[in-house]
Amino acid sequence: MKIIGTGSALPKKSVTNDMLSEFLDTSDEWITTRTGIKTRHIITDERFEDLATEAAARAIDAAGLCPDDIDYIICSNVSNYFVTPHLSSLIQGGLGIKGPGCPTMDVNVACVGFVYALDLCDALLSTGRAHNILLVAAEECTRFCDWTDRNCSVLFGDGAGAVVVSKGDSLISCRLTSVPMPDVIVYRNPMEPTPFETGEGVDVHMPLQMKGREVFRMAVSSASRDIQQVVADAGLELGDIDHFLLHQANLRINEAIRENLGQPEEKFPTNVQRFGNTSSASIPLLLDEGIREGKIRRGHKVLMSAFGAGFVTGTLILKY
């Protein structure tokens, strides 16, 4: 595969830490020192599927294509008002792609969804099943936070990033992992009770729960391990990588990974300060910004690495 266009979109409302401290027992000082986050965009009266469609349209435009050139749509998504129909189908409708020759599917691999889906795109393109795939990572995680709980709600933001990928030989190496650890980050959808329930073994709905310190430790150790592995698999040195696009959950996590790797700060772009943790959208948002600012250029070696609920990780290197 190769990436031929990128795009992104953010909700219009930007919320500062001080705005949160008006109704939560928190402070700008606590959030900034523990996470690096200063502001995040939060969805208000926009329709989430419109935001995702906007990012998609920009990526298609940047690729020099029109929507009807797209023959596969994949959407990475954890949180979404619609359980069904799936978000990629709504995006297809929003773009005016009539089908039927354009399959759509969503993948949910938590914050790692974009990296997993890029690997999937490579498989679809190399077998000739698709020619121009639209991959959108769109998240509204702020909708599954308990806004009376200062532990989780201050961490997240909403946003969408998109790429168009077509056939090419950009992907250099990739490592995807999954280890079942259901308690470290968990959110269960509210479900309608059936008349057959006994009440035993039925979990009540609960907002997002997270073991922050455990996630922090696992994120640093797994990303440091995976990054060194994919670089070695590619026959490269860490110094050959031009940009390290790490999942943006916490600036301190990324700083610890960077220190483990002994690489300079300018190779690690960040957006968590402005956008919070946008789950699987964080890496495509970084990518789009880096390309638009002219920092990520053709021929550069770009490493992407993410971790998230599961516990899952995904790391890849591509030549942009």
By CB under 6 A, how many residues form the interface with ligand COA? Answer: 19
Q: Taking CB under 6 A as the rule, does residue 313 contact ligand COA?
A: no
86 labelled catalytic: no
Rounded Cα distance between 257 and 115, Å, is 18
- Letter string b/e over residues 123-140, b meaning 16 or more CB atoms within 10 A of that residue's CB: ebbeeeebebbbbbbbbb
Rounded Cα distance between 139 and 151, Å, is 19
Rounded Cα distance between 289 and 148, Å, is 33
Judged by beta carbon, residue 91 or residue 218, the one nearer ligand COA is 218
Judged by beta carbon, residue 183 or residue 197, the one nearer ligand COA is 183
156: helix, strand or coil: strand
Distance of closest approach, residue 141 Cβ to ligand COA, in angstroms: 9
**Which residue among 277, 278, 313, 315 contacts ligand COA (CB under 6 A)?**
277
DSSP letters of 231-249?
A: HHHTT--GGG-SEEEE--S
**Which residue among 14, 15, 19, 30 contacts ligand COA (CB under 6 A)?**
30
Judged by beta carbon, residue 181 or residue 210, the one nearer ligand COA is 210
**Which residue among 197, 213, 235, 266 contacts ligand COA (CB under 6 A)?**
213
Distance of closest approach, residue 252 Cβ to ligand COA, in angstroms: 7
Q: Are 77 and 89 in contact (CB under 8 A)?
A: no
Number of other residues whose CB lies within 10 A of the CB of residue 235: 9
Q: Taking CB under 6 A as the rule, does residue 281 contact ligand COA?
A: no
Distance of closest approach, residue 77 Cβ to ligand COA, in angstroms: 14
- Give the residue among 163, 174, 165, 191 at the shortest CA–CA distance from 55: 163
Q: Taking CB under 6 A as the rule, does residue 207 contact ligand COA?
A: no
Q: Taking CB under 6 A as the rule, does residue 209 contact ligand COA?
A: no
Sign of CA dihedral 202, 208, 211, 215: positive
Segment interacting with ligand COA, rule: CB under 6 A, options 24-32, 137-145, 197-205, 257-265: 24-32
Q: Taking CB under 6 A as the rule, does residue 34 contact ligand COA?
A: yes
102 labelled catalytic: no
Burial of 144 (0-12, 13-18, 19+ CB in 10 A): middle
300 labelled catalytic: no
Q: Taking CB under 6 A as the rule, does residue 57 contact ligand COA?
A: no
Q: Taking CB under 6 A as the rule, does residue 249 contact ligand COA?
A: yes
Q: Which amino acid is at 152?
A: C
Q: Taking CB under 6 A as the rule, does residue 150 contact ligand COA?
A: yes
DSSP designation for 71: -
Q: Are 20 and 155 in contact (CB under 8 A)?
A: no
Label the pairing between strands 72-76 and 132-139: parallel
Judged by beta carbon, residue 26 or residue 271, the one nearer ligand COA is 26
Number of other residues whose CB lies within 10 A of the CB of residue 100: 5
Distance of closest approach, residue 151 Cβ to ligand COA, in angstroms: 5
> Which residues inside 110-149 make contact with ligand COA, applying CB under 6 A?
111
Helices (H) and strands (E) in the chain, counts: 10, 13
Q: Taking CB under 6 A as the rule, does residue 250 contact ligand COA?
A: yes
Judged by beta carbon, residue 29 or residue 169, the one nearer ligand COA is 29
The pair of structure tokens assigned to 8 is 């992104």
Distance of closest approach, residue 85 Cβ to ligand COA, in angstroms: 26
Active site residues: 111, 247, 277
Interacting residues with ligand COA (CB under 6 A): 26, 30-31, 34-35, 111, 150-151, 154, 185, 210, 212-213, 215-216, 249-250, 277, 308
